[in-house]
């Protein structure tokens, strides 16, 4: 089986390189179009049910944007000399159902590469959703 389009979901800059390595290997092997994707919410879910103070919300959104830019830089650096087409997408969405946005992009791909749930990451319950991608995306 060949993969014409591969989507790699990059939600954490600490794991971006580890996810990009196999994605780049597969894209090189099959001369695929590699799509890198980072999605963040314009109104992130608060870590506690009380919500955010307005002074905190702006810094949380800025942190999310910075992380997306760091991941974009990693993606660009690692795919700069690639013999395949590499395309970066940074999506800011108005809701916290980030998995649905990844699946929307993934439906146009032959393969989705995403990280596993990280028990040591505080945001993993909100930002890691490999089970949903596996069961609901309709893609391997």
Return the domain boundaries, the chain: 5-136
pLDDT of residue 44: 62
pTM of the model: 0.81
Tokens standing for 113? 């590469």
pLDDT at 124: 44
56 φ/ψ sector (left φ>0, alpha ψ -120 to 50, else beta): alpha
Q: Cα(85)–Cα(52) distance, rounded to whole angstroms? A: 40
Structure-block tokens of residue 30: 């099959």
Fold (topology level) of 5-136: Rossmann fold (3.40.50)
pLDDT tens digits, residue range 33-44?
A: 999 999 887 766
**pLDDT under 50: residue ranges of the chain:** 124-125
Q: Residue 93 forms beta bridges with which residues?
A: 41
Tokens 């979901």 identify what position? 9
């Amino acid at each position: 089986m060949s993969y014409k389009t591969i989507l790699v979901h990059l939600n954490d800059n600490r794991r971006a390189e580890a996810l990009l390595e196999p994605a780049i290997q597969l894209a090189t092997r099959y001369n695929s179009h590699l799509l890198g994707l980072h999605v963040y919410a314009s109104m992130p879910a608060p870590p506690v049910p009380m919500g955010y103070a307005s002074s905190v919300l702006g810094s949380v959104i800025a942190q999310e944007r910075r992380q997306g830019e760091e991941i974009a830089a990693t993606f660009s650096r690692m795919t700069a000399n690639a013999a395949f087409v590499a395309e970066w997408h940074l999506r800011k969405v108005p809701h916290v159902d980030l998995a649905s946005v990844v699946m929307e992009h993934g439906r146009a791909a032959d393969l989705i590469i995403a990280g596993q749930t990280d028990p040591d990451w505080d945001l993993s319950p909100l930002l890691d959703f490999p089970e949903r991608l596996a069961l609901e995306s309709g893609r391997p």
